[in-house]
Amino acid sequence: MTLSLYDASVPVFASMMRNMRAWLDKAAAEKDEATLLEARLAPDMKPLPAQYQMASDSAKNALARLTGTDAPAMPDTEQSFAELRERCDKTIAYLTGFDAAALAGSETREVELRFPNGMGYRWAGAAYLTGFALPNFYFHATTAYAILRNAGVALGKPDFLQHLGMPTSPPSSA
């Protein structure tokens, strides 16, 4: 009745970043890139590039915090689909550099988020992953998808779920 923190993090984050990268290819084939780069769902929500950047940050910071290491800096300078693809690739390469052994002990590792004002939050690693890192990651991944759909890009649920754990062979129809 348990799940490894590795299985609950690295393949999940990496697969969704691969999906997010693929959405850019579909979007570029259908719509004007400059328009999509400015697209957002509400005036006080961030546009598409920031959703990619925050998904990347959520994933890489989760692995860094769970392993007690430093995540590579990625300074959020992306201004084109080519640069967003590169951000996805760098994030995926970082994530998939971890193996299950690297997450040994991460369930109980203390994770602290501290904000510039000195306040912050503290969790055990497992609670941080399920209660903050994963929902925050999915928030930004889904918001990126929602921005593209709202802008008329023809994505569908399979574009969101593919690679995530869909078995390649369906059961027999017997």
Q: For helices 134-150 and 48-67, give the axis angle rounded to 10 degrees.
A: 160
- 8 part of the interface to a copy of itself, by CB under 8 A: yes
**The pairing of beta strand 120-124 with beta strand 110-114:** antiparallel
Number of residues that bind a copy of itself (CB under 8 A): 58
CA–CA gap between residue 47 and residue 114 (Å, rounded)? 25
In the complex with a copy of itself, the residue whose CB is nearer, 82 or 166, is: 166
Dihedral, 84, 85, 90, 91 alpha carbons, nearest 10? 70
H helices of 31-128, in order, are 33-38, 48-67, 81-95, 125-128
In the complex with a copy of itself, the residue whose CB is nearer, 2 or 77, is: 2
Pair 53, 91: CB distance under 8 Å: no
CB of 109 to a copy of itself, least distance (A): 10
- 126 part of the interface to a copy of itself, by CB under 8 A: yes
- 68 part of the interface to a copy of itself, by CB under 8 A: no
Q: Which stretch binds a copy of itself (CB under 8 A): 30-38, 71-79, 80-88, 144-152?
A: 144-152
Give the end-to-end CA distance of the chain in Å, rounded to a whole number.
Answer: 30
Interface residue list for a copy of itself (CB under 8 A)? 1-8, 11-12, 15-16, 41-42, 45, 100, 103-107, 112, 114, 118-123, 126-132, 134-136, 138-139, 142-143, 145-146, 149-150, 152, 157, 160-161, 164-167, 170-171, 173
